[in-house]
Structure 1
Amino acid sequence: MARWAPDTKERLREAAMQLFTERGFEATTVPDIVERAGVTRRTFFRHFADKREVFFSGDEIPRLAARMLADAPADMSPFSIAWTGLQALAADRFEPRRDEIAAARRVIDAEPALRERDLQKQADLRAVLVEGYLARGVESLHARVVAGVAVELLQTALERWAADGSGTPLREHLERVRREMAAVLG
């Protein structure tokens, strides 16, 4: 088995996703993943704490959100900052990985432990946004509401986009969900 290769983490992710799709999350073991990826068990654990982390390690969105809030013009409204960031994420991070994200979404939706971890990721992002808004001087309730709306908007649009076989871009799903949320909120 290969001791090291520059694409090892990605190979492990690809092998895991193939197996999760073929067999299901619970039926797939770490030995199955390392065998498919052609690496050792030790190599797997250098990159991931456990098989759940194949989905959740290296999530850079909270870091990007914190940077976006820190760099935004002082006069930009809290929601405008979030909206600009969501559109950039859609174009730069999500669209190029549509098939991978849709497959991951199906596996996550089918596994309660993964759904729980996904909800924790959403809560972590919300907390980063609230912290960033508070640092900008946004009132606490407003910071919590805008952060909550932004995370829910992203999650709902991602779920629709991943389930949509028509190829509609994520940015269009974001816009639809934003309009629907605005209509609901009056």
Structure 2
Amino acid sequence: MSRWEPNARGRLEQAALELYGEHGYEQTAAAQIAARAGVTERTFFRHFADKREVLFGGAQQLEQAFVDALAATPATAAPIDAMASALESVAALFADRHAFARQRQAVIAASGELRERELHKLASLVAASTVTLRERGVSEPAASLTAEAGLAVFRVGFERWVAGDADRPLADHLRESLAALKAALAGE
């Protein structure tokens, strides 16, 4: 494949997932990923800071989607309803990404370094959501609690979606997880 073909970033992501699945994350080098994707190693580093970021490159987009959706929710919405709206909005980012998400999660689960990186990215998402909720006028500790609860709902729903079949959209799993949280808080 020519290095001038379009979608180098997507090809790099797919090549990395394949190689991580075949050889493991630790045994795969950026040069191997670039070669599999049909680009130079220099092109790899134009798209990603390191081989971990191939798996986490979309974290900023996810965080921005959460923040934008929270900010766009009507000011009269309760904090948890604003978070529910954000979850619905974010679920759209994962349409047609089930196979990729499943592969990605398997690679992350197999590496302590990657699990740690994932936790760091998720903590950043909580922090950004908390700030946005505060900007909406939600006081503490409600802003922090809502952001943490929203992330918990996202993680549980996402894990169930990845483990399930591709026929059910992520949004369904997120709604179910949020409903389960609300039921647990109501003592049901």
Q: TM-score, normalised by structure 1?
A: 0.92
1:75 aligns to 2:69 (yes or no): no
Instruction: Report the AA paired with residue 149 of structure 1.
Output: A
**Deviations 1:78-98 (Å, cap 9, x if unpaired)?**
1111111212222x2113101
Q: Percent identity?
A: 38
Query: 2: CA distance between counterparts of 1:111 and 1:146?
Result: 29
Instruction: Report the AA paired with residue 154 of structure 1.
Output: F
Alignment length (residue pairs): 185
Query: 2: CA distance between counterparts of 1:23 and 1:121?
Result: 25
- The DSSP-based 3-state class of the residue aligned with 2:96 is helix
Residue of structure 1 equivalent to 2:6: 6
- The DSSP-based 3-state class of the residue aligned with 1:75 is coil
Residue of structure 1 equivalent to 2:172: 172
Query: 2: CA distance between counterparts of 1:156 and 1:97?
Result: 17
Q: State the Cα distance separating 1:3 from its structure 2 match.
A: 4.7
Please give the residue correspondences for 1:1-80 in structure 2 after superposition, counting only pairs within 5 Å.
2-59=2-59, 60-80=61-81
Q: State the Cα distance separating 1:165 from its structure 2 match.
A: 3.4
Query: 1: CA distance between counterparts of 2:46 and 2:4?
Result: 11
Q: Answer with 26-35 or 123-132: which moved more.
A: 26-35
**Deviations 1:98-140 (Å, cap 9, x if unpaired)?**
1101110111111111111111111111111110111111111
Q: State the Cα distance separating 1:166 from its structure 2 match.
A: 6.8
**Deviations 1:134-161 (Å, cap 9, x if unpaired)?**
1111111000110000001001111111
- The DSSP-based 3-state class of the residue aligned with 1:96 is coil
Query: 2: CA distance between counterparts of 1:167 and 1:18?
Result: 23
Query: 2: CA distance between counterparts of 1:15 and 1:57?
Result: 14
Residue of structure 1 equivalent to 2:135: 135
Q: Answer with 62-71 or 163-172: which moved more.
A: 163-172
Q: CA, structure 1 residues 58+178, in 2 after alignment: closer, same or farther (shift >3 Å)?
A: closer
Structure 2 gap ranges (5+)? none
Residue of structure 1 equivalent to 2:123: 123
- The DSSP-based 3-state class of the residue aligned with 1:140 is coil
Query: 1: CA distance between counterparts of 2:67 and 2:176?
Result: 25
Q: State the Cα distance separating 1:2 from its structure 2 match.
A: 4.1
Query: 2: CA distance between counterparts of 1:160 and 1:177?
Result: 9
Query: 1: CA distance between counterparts of 2:76 and 2:154?
Result: 23
Instruction: Report the AA paired with residue 80 of structure 1.
Output: D
Residue of structure 1 equivalent to 2:93: 93
Instruction: Report the AA paired with residue 67 of structure 1.
Output: D
Q: Answer with 143-152 or 75-84: which moved more.
A: 75-84
Q: CA, structure 1 residues 14+140, in 2 after alignment: closer, same or farther (shift >3 Å)?
A: same
